[in-house]
Amino acid sequence: MTNSTREDAPGQQAMGWSLLDIVEALGCAVYGPVGDDAELHALTPVHVTIDTRDVRPGSIFVALQGTRAHGLEYAGEAFDRGALAVLAGTDLDLDDSTWERLVGSAAERGPLLVASDCDGVTALGRLARAWRRRGAWRVVGITGSSGKTSTKDILRALLEQSGRAVVASHANWNNEIGVPLTLLEARPTTDVVICEMGMRGPGQIAYLCDIADPDIGVVTTAGLAHLELLGSEQAIVEAKAELLAGTWRGGVGVFPGMQAHLVEAAAHTPDRLLPFGMGDDEADSSAVLVTHVERTDTGIAGRIDLMGAELPFTLPIHGVHQARNLAAAAAVLVTLTGSASLLPEDALMVGADRVHLFTPGRGDRHRLPGGGLIIDDAYNANPESMDAALAELAATQTRGRRIAVLGRMAELGPLGIDLHRVIGANAAAAKPIDQLVVVGAGVDVDALTDGWNAARRRGDALRFESIAEAVTHLTEWLRDDDVVLVKASNSSGLGELAGALADELRVSTRSSGGVDT
């Protein structure tokens, strides 16, 4: 990504799309029958999938190398379901005889396009890159150590209720497969594509930006998530800053005003930078600022200053920290609108009917008959989101007890033990929290227990090594007026625990809102 002025801006070309266009754009070799010219131009727009179960007449099936088999093994099934063509890369880890067998078998059934000098994942990315550059839609890239999924969901809600046609990343579609598939869902009628961008190492976000060519790049925060993968906080900052560097020069970079080092770490930045923030400490640095926030029965409400125009907001998800994610989304909304003065007074009033947009496992609230709650926030965790979740637990009103059920935070590397110990101590320091329950095995979860116990404010933490053991004991010990937070990294499996507790304690209703990473 060169962060150039981009002469070939999206929308400059026609949206027509054909097999021949794909062959030329990707430099493909073509095997098997390709049909006549009319068939070649039958793809406006194209449906692309990597799953044969999702193939429908006219689809392009992209055959990827899996852990057990190559996608070309399923080319016949794809053609049986109506695929117009199969796209593959030159996967060099296959021996020649296997490769020739797969290519020959697929080509007998229909057109097989083989992209040169790349594997299937790269071919998928090149296909998405070519499609993105044919469209007039605006692309928003979102990354961050925490808050990126909530920001994506909030932005989608704001844009859809303003009448825009939106395509947004599904669930965990935030990598070198998910981002291309998201872009390929865009249609000529699409206004905005929102691409959540995850990161496993240096260069990952830069690669995704080269595919997506974002008009607006949003970094929600740079925290300690992925410390194990990157080794230092500075390396994390530099990796997240790749999104600012990958946003084209005529675009807009949105970043937290209190983390200006993100801009300093970017190799280059777009012409316009828009900081956002929350609270008086950020008033001087943030063009988009949450000036007031309060908890409500259904979520949060308050006011946001959008470059001098103050608008009220309501958000049907719980957690005051979500106001910061709303500010990031509002910065994108005002950028796409052109001016804050053009926004209606209710532009930031997110209706309760849009709560279905929010991703499960990020603070889902299961209400109990006695007035208590099971808060399922077990989709993921890092130190920053753990502290935010504990603060929300401490602030939740209840007749019963406030109980934190915590598990391991993944990808923290050598500092993991110390960081877990700090979280345990922070839970103990939050006086309204009555009990810590630790689930899992290993030195990290030992440290959670040690941090709580060392505070000596209350009784020792309860400790269970397995989810089954925790469910058995907690369903007997918990009361239906307790508020129970369940939070850990997804790999800990505590989402299963949250669901089991909710079922056992007789769930009556469900609402959303949480702390994502």
Residue 476 · residue 482 · CB < 8 Å: no
Question: Which pLDDT value is given to residue 44?
Answer: 65
pLDDT at 1: 45
Topology match between the domains 136-357 and 364-511: no
CA-only gyration radius of the chain, Å: 24
- What per-residue confidence (pLDDT) applies to 365? 87
CB 409 within 8 A of CB 517: no
> Cα(130)–Cα(268) distance, rounded to whole angstroms?
24
Please tell me the number of Cα atoms within 13 Å of 227 on its side-chain side.
19
What span, in angstroms and rounded, lies between the C-alpha atoms of 208 and 199?
10
Q: What is the pLDDT of residues 261-300, one digit of tens each?
A: 899 999 999 999 999 999 865 555 789 999 999 999 889 9
Domain 19-126, CATH 3.40.1390.10 — does that match? yes
Residue 251 corresponds to which tokens in the numbers above?
A: 């675009």
Name residues of the chain where pLDDT drops below 70.
1-16, 35-44, 92, 224-231, 280-284, 354-360, 456-458, 506-517
Give the number of other CB atoms < 10 A from CB of residue 323. 24
Distance (Å, whole) CA 256 – CA 187: 32
364-511: CATH topology is Protein-Tyrosine Phosphatase; Chain A (3.90.190)
CA angle 329, 332, 338 (to 5 degrees): 140
Q: How far are the Cα atoms of 170, 196, 275 from residue 245, in angstroms, in the given order?
A: 25, 16, 15
Strands in 126-188 per DSSP E: 138-143, 166-168
* CB 304 within 8 Å of CB 348: yes
| Rounded distance between C-alpha atoms, residue 154 and residue 156, angstroms | 5
Of the candidates 262, 325, 247, 315, the one whose C-alpha atom is nearest the C-alpha of residue 288 is: 325
Q: Residue 9's pLDDT is what? A: 46
Cis peptide before 270 (omega within 30 of 0): no
DSSP-assigned beta bridge partners for residue 439 = 464
What's the one-letter identity of residue 315?
L
Angle at CA 379, nearest 5°, toward 375 and 381?
95
Distance of CA 358 to the CA centre of its chain: 11
Residue found by looking up tokens 């109506």 in the block: 82
pLDDT of residue 433: 95
Which CA distances in Å does 292 have to 277, 302, 313? 12, 5, 10
Distances in whole angstroms, Cα of residue 264 to Cα of each of 162, 238, 267, 271: 34, 9, 8, 14
Alpha-carbon gap, residue 11 to 6, rounded angstroms: 12
DSSP, collapsed to helix, strand or coil, labels residue 447 as helix
Q: Where are the domains of the chain?
A: 19-126, 136-357, 364-511
Task: Evaluate whether 221 touches 146 at the Cβ level (below 8 Å).
Answer: yes
- Determine contact, residues 185/131, Cβ cutoff 8 Å: no
Query: What are 9-43's pLDDT values in tens digits?
Result: 444 444 567 888 888 889 999 998 776 544 555 56
Q: 288-295 and 300-306: which strand pairing?
A: antiparallel
CB 326 within 8 A of CB 291: no
Write out pLDDT tens, residues 293-332.
999 988 999 999 999 899 999 999 888 999 999 999 999 9
Superfamily of domain 136-357: Mur-like, catalytic domain (3.40.1190.10)
DSSP letter for 515, please.
-
Q: Find the distance separating the first CA and the last CA of the chain, reported in whole Å.
A: 26
Q: What is the pLDDT of residue 283?
A: 56
Amino acid at 404: A
DSSP letter for 175, please.
S
Going edge to edge, which strands form the sheet with 402-406?
A: 462-464, 435-439, 402-406, 483-487, 373-377, 364-367, 509-511
